[in-house]
Amino acid sequence: MAVGASSRPEVTSQTEVDITTQLRKHPRVGETLIEAFLFICGAVSILTTVGIVFVLAEESLLFFTSGEVSLTEFFTGTVWQPAIGQFGIWALMNATFTVTIIAMIVALPLGLAVAIYLSEYASLRVRSILKPILEVLAGIPTVVYGYFALTFMTPVLRNIFGDNVVQIYNTASAGIVIGILILPLVSSMAEDALSAVPGSLRQAAFGLGATKLETAVQVVLPAAVSGIAAAFIVAISRAIGETMVVAIAAGAGPKFTFNPFEAAETMTGHIVRISGGDLSYDSIDYNSIFAIGLVLFCITLVLNIISRYVVAHFREEYE
């Protein structure tokens, strides 16, 4: 062999040097600096959260201590008219919930059905066509959905129900379109959950003489229920936080109404409209968007935490 004694002298000579010196820790400044930098990168996310909480809390505090609005009034009132000092968040929250409920009526059944079809029925070829289509749907910016709601869905609704029933701006149109917007989210998350169910479970069901539907609905679906529930919750959170569609199609004026064909402004829509104008930093309007933001943040945060909890605590048994 070529590496003979000739290539070894370094090692032999090294043996004469003190082994402790040889193995001693080098001060690897570069490594430490890099690790520190990487840690800071990670910490930026903490700073973001802290920033969000701090900013929302601080400005909301200003809002509630301004003397113009009390907490009770804020959380129980149904009139939002800053001009006359009325700040009842239900005027906005009600619209948000209307839009969300309509969106869910569209997105949940459709999304789940699509997921079941993709995971249990569709051939590989069909899947390879359908999945990119859903991805395209998911990748379209929300402002485009806003355009769609206003220039397509609203005219369609007005054609069906009549121009005097459906206003030009209405929560139904925005809700339906948000439903379409989050459909790919629901279907892909639900499909992931369904696909994660081990094939052996399906085979067991088929082996007992179950039909495809019985297997899908009575065996696979219950096994994936935590993932699907999580998908639904995330979808709700997403619908509540969705902004551009409602800003464009739902209307620009807070209104406490349960009629989905009437215009009403959601929390997000209100924030966008108020801040879209030339906003004075000292006005109560400016502070109010932080208070609304805080409510919005809390709702979505709680929903997200619930969804993660559901996944984390009900999933293991099937893995």
Partner 1 sequence: MSQDLQPGNIGSYPEDNDLKKFIDNRKRGGLLWRLSFQLATLIAILALLALLYNIFNGAFGYVALQNKVDPNALVLAMEEDQMLSSPKTVSSEDDNELVKRIENNPNAIGFFGYAYYNDNTDKLKLVSVEGQTPSRETAESGEYPLARPLFIYSAADVMQENRAIGAFIDYYLTNVNTVIEDVGYFPISDELLNGATTSWSEAVGDQAEALQSYAANPADVSDHDIRISGSSTVYPLTRQMAIQFRRAGFQGGLDLQQTGTTAGFRAFCEDMTADITNASRPITRAESEACGDKKRTPVEFRVGTDALAIAVSSKNTFLENVTKDELRQIFTTAETWSDVNPAWPNEPIERFIPGADSGTLDFFAETVFNRKLPELTESELVKILEANISTGLMRRYEAEKPLAERSQAELVDLVLERVVEQKVVGSWKFTESLFNRTKIEEEVARIPQGELQWRSWISPKFLITPQSSTPELAGVRTALFGTLWVIAITILVALPIGVGAAIYLEEYAVMVANPILRRVNAIIQTNINNLAGVPSIIYGILGLAIFVRAIEPITSGTLFGISDPTTANGRTIISASFTLALLILPLIIINAQEAIRAVPNSLRQAGMGLGATRWQTIWSHVLPNAIPGILTGNILAMSRAIGETAPLVVIGASTFITVDPTSPFSKFTVLPIQIYQWVSRPQPEFRNIAAAAIIVLLILLLTLNASAVILRNRYSRRLS
Partner 2 sequence: MSTTGVPTSNGKYALELQDVHCYYGSFRAVKDVNLKLHDKKITAFIGPSGCGKSTVLRALNRMNDLIPGGRVEGRILLRGKNLYDQDVDPVEVRRRIGMVFQKPNPFPKSIFDNIAWGAKINGFKGNMKELVEQSLRSAALWDEVKDKLDQSGLGLSGGQQQRLCIARAIATQPEIILMDEPCSALDPIATLKIEDLMRELVKNYTIVIVTHNMQQAARASDYTAYYLMDRSDRAGELVEYGETDQLFTNPKDKRTEDYITGRFG
Which of residues 40 and 76 has its CB atom nearest to partner 1 in the complex?
A: 40
- CB 235 within 8 Å of CB 75: no
Q: Which of residues 60-79 bind partner 1 (CB under 8 A)?
A: none
165-200: burial string, b at 16+ Cβ within 10 Å, e else:
ebbebbbbbbbbbbbbbbbbbbbbbbbbbbbebeee
| 243 contacts partner 1 (rule: CB under 8 A) | yes
Smallest distance from partner 1 to CB 176, Å: 9
From 185, 183, 169, select the one nearest 265 (Cα to Cα).
169
Least Cα distance to 283 among 138, 68, 73 occurs for: 68
159 interacts with, out of partner 1, partner 2, none, CB within 5 to 8 A per kind: none
188 within 8 A of 138, measured Cβ to Cβ: yes
Residue 218 DSSP one-character state = I
Pairwise CA distance, residues 260 & 245, whole Å: 15
**142 near partner 1, judged by CB under 8 A:** yes
Q: Which amino acid is at 157?
A: L
**Backbone φ/ψ region at 209: left (φ over 0), alpha (ψ -120 to 50), beta:** left
- Binder of residue 3, out of partner 1, partner 2, none (CB less than 5 to 8 A by kind): partner 2
Find the binder of partner 1 among 19, 105, 143, 204 (CB under 8 A): 143
Q: Mark residue 230 as left, alpha or beta (left: phi above 0; alpha: psi -120 to 50; beta: remaining).
A: alpha
The site map against partner 1 for 22-61 (x = CB under 8 A) is ------x-xx--xx-xxxxxxxxxx-xx-xx--xx--x--
Q: Is 80 helix (H, G, I), strand (E, B) or coil?
A: strand
Instruction: Please report how close the Cβ of residue 256 comes to partner 1 at its closest, in angstroms.
Output: 22
Q: Which is nearer to partner 1, 44 or 71 (CB)?
A: 44
Comparing CB distances to partner 1, the nearer of 45 and 164 is 45
Q: Does 96 bind partner 1 (CB under 8 A)?
A: no
Residue 304 binding result from partner 2, partner 1, none, given CB thresholds of 5 to 8 Å by partner type: partner 1
Distance CA 91, CA 154 (A): 22
Kindly state the smallest distance separating residue 317's Cβ from partner 1, in Å. 22
Nearest-approach distance from CB 6 to partner 2, in angstroms: 9
Residue 312's binding partner, choosing from partner 1, partner 2, none, with beta-carbon cut-off 5 to 8 A by kind?
A: none
Measured from the CB atom, the residue of 4 and 277 that comes closer to partner 1 is: 277
